[in-house]
Structure 1
Amino acid sequence: MSAPAGHTPEEARGALAATLCYFLWGLVPLYWRQLAGVDPVELIAHRHLWSLALLLGVLAVQRRLSSVGAAFASRRSFAINALGAVLLTGNWLVYVWGVNTGHVIETSLGYFLVPLVNVAAGRFVLHEHLRRAQRLAIGLAALGVILMIVQLGRPPWIALALAGTWGGYSLLRKQSPLPAATGLAIETLMLAPLALAFLAWLQFRGVGAMGHADTRTHVLIMSSGVITAIPLLLFAYGARRIRLSTLGLLQYCAPSVQLVLGIWVFHEPFSRARIASFAFIWAALALYTADNLLQQRRFARA
């Protein structure tokens, strides 16, 4: 995939990193489905600890371990990363639970909504001006969600939770002054004591997966650090080098791959009513994309 709006080598590298990140995220349901027999909260706790171990190793090789301690000296940096840790953990938990309970299509809907959440965050948090097409795109997406509520008889909570937590996390990573590996290491470090205590409690009760599962499950659980950290490092690297709108355009890759997996690999139902709901959201994304490309072309001419 070519990198949109890569006007400088730095932006092009950022766009490439973000594209690769989103493609890998699209394939992640294949990994989590292999661990469907493990409690999602336990999986997230392991994900924290194994990710932290990998990230501290990366920082040690880069001789930047001291930057972790220095980051806690700034109240603003501490607050941003603490909130980021909570949002990221919530996003992980909802996602893993959704995938392993047969809601891959709804998780894909959540990530289709993220670019529009980013637009709304830009308006109400960063006080950016919304163009008419952007307002119309948000309206179309809202209609799609309303139609899905009518179809399901309930709000699509999985999708809305994923869109909200990831949209908020994207905004925080955009504002964070920390390098990618350092910021992610701090986010995982902040909640690592809770994760460790929870896993120790499970082991004490004799119900934890580690030590009680087969070798394949042990290897998969220990691989959660790699599965988690590499795409997030790519995302953090890209988010700090490209515009939020460009990040939104590239984001379509992950839910598209997830939707394909949900329909053709996991054989989840995709009724006409659900197709109609997605159609409104896809129309919103098409309008949003066209508006962004037109705006970027105008900037390039200027």
Structure 2
Amino acid sequence: MEEKSSKTGVLSALAAYTAWGLLPIYWKTLQSVPAQEILAHRITWSFVFVALLVLYKKQWGKIRSVLRDRSKVLGLLLSALLVTSNWYIYIWAVNSNRVVEASLGYYFNPLIVVLMGIMVLGERIDRWQIASIVLACLGVLILALEYGKIPWISLGLATTFALYGLAKRLVAVDSLLGLTLETAVVTPIAIIYLWTAGANSGGTISHFGVPTLLLLMGAGIVTAIPLLWFAHAAKNVPFTTIGFIQYLSPTLSLVLGVFVYHEEFTSTHALSFGFIWLALAVYSVSRIVVFRKANLGVAHSLQGK
């Protein structure tokens, strides 16, 4: 059962990060809509979608049991704030033509995940992991020194999502129920914002049209499904493995930013990304070596028996 859960967890992680890597395509179709309004629709329709799933699976009774646990409620409140912050930063970055900077954040994120796995979950670290973290920090520092400011979009995305993943791992709540409660926390605020914005502008339909409204409604589906995949993976796959799989998402986003949306990619970007790619290469090779040694150890022990 544990092996099966691990395999489905890895597949869920691959599916989630592929979807997230291609998500800029979806947000670009909504570039005429303010980021705050996209966020409000994303929250609202995500809640509607997952609430319908809960209703279909007849799990409303389980939600009441979760709400009776104060520690879980506090954990879900924290998760809601973190994921909402992450959503807003990402939507704003994509629709402000800063997909490359957003992809840098998600390249940096796996190493923050590793740090949190070490500091909070007690996962072991070796000299190669330390080297990879130092190299990644140098990459971010180069970008900061060149532009005279901290790349807050990159670091904001990396930190909020790493903390969100950690919160999901520490709060023992079913993936669907957790996402339902997380979105339920912020949906009232989102509805109030949409009501106010609609009163001032005449509403989304009159201002942007029916096709745009349908895309905004679809944001609930494209948001909820990858998050459910990720939540399943976070509970069944080691944090360090999730950090490795996450390389897929920023790679897809970077390709879109440079080759599809023709964003600027300077020599400074290349140097900064180069250090981070080197960090990921060092980390990846070290994990492969550790994995092979572990397999050899198991094989020798079985032969001894």
TM-score interval w.r.t. the shorter chain?
over 0.9
2:135 maps to 1:140: yes
1:253 matched residue in structure 2: 248
Q: Name stretches of at least 5 consecutive residues in structure 2 with no aligned partner.
A: 299-305
- Residue identity matched to 1:284: A
Count of equivalent residues: 297
Aligned pair partner of 1:160 in 135, 140, 155: 155
- Residue identity matched to 1:263: V
2:65 maps to 1:66: no
Aligned pair partner of 1:88 in 78, 83, 89: 83
Q: Name stretches of at least 5 consecutive residues in structure 1 with no aligned partner.
A: 1-5
1:161-219 residue CA offsets vs partner (Å, 9 max, x unmatched):
00000000011111121111111111000111111111111122235434421121111
2:170 maps to 1:175: yes
Aligned pair partner of 2:126 in 131, 141, 150: 131
Q: Higher Cα Rg: structure 1 or 2? A: 2
2:8 maps to 1:13: yes
Deviation at 1:291, TM superposition (A): 1.7
Deviation at 1:7, TM superposition (A): 8.0
* Bigger helix share: 2
Contact kept in structure 1, 2:117 and 2:240, CA below 8 Å: no
In the superposition, the TM-score normalised over structure 2's length comes to 0.94
2:216 maps to 1:221: yes
Gap change, CA 1:13 and 1:129, over 3 Å in 2: closer
Gap change, CA 1:209 and 1:145, over 3 Å in 2: same
Q: Which moved more, 1:127-136 or 1:145-154?
A: 127-136
Q: Report sequence identity in percent.
A: 35
Deviation at 1:98, TM superposition (A): 0.2
- Residue identity matched to 1:299: A
State how 1:43-82 maps to structure 2 within 5 Å: 43-82=38-77
State how 1:180-195 maps to structure 2 within 5 Å: 180-195=175-190
Aligned pair partner of 1:231 in 223, 226, 229: 226
Q: Matches of 1:141 and 1:108 in 2, distance apart?
A: 14
Give the CA RMSD over aligned residues.
1.5
- Residue identity matched to 1:123: I
1:75-121 residue CA offsets vs partner (Å, 9 max, x unmatched):
11111110000000000000000000010001101111111001111
- Residue identity matched to 1:294: V
1:58-86 residue CA offsets vs partner (Å, 9 max, x unmatched):
11111112222221111111111100000
2:290 maps to 1:295: yes
Contact kept in structure 2, 1:137 and 1:284, CA below 8 Å: yes
2:114 maps to 1:119: yes
Q: Matches of 2:155 and 2:136 in 1, distance apart?
A: 12
- 1:212 partner SS: helix
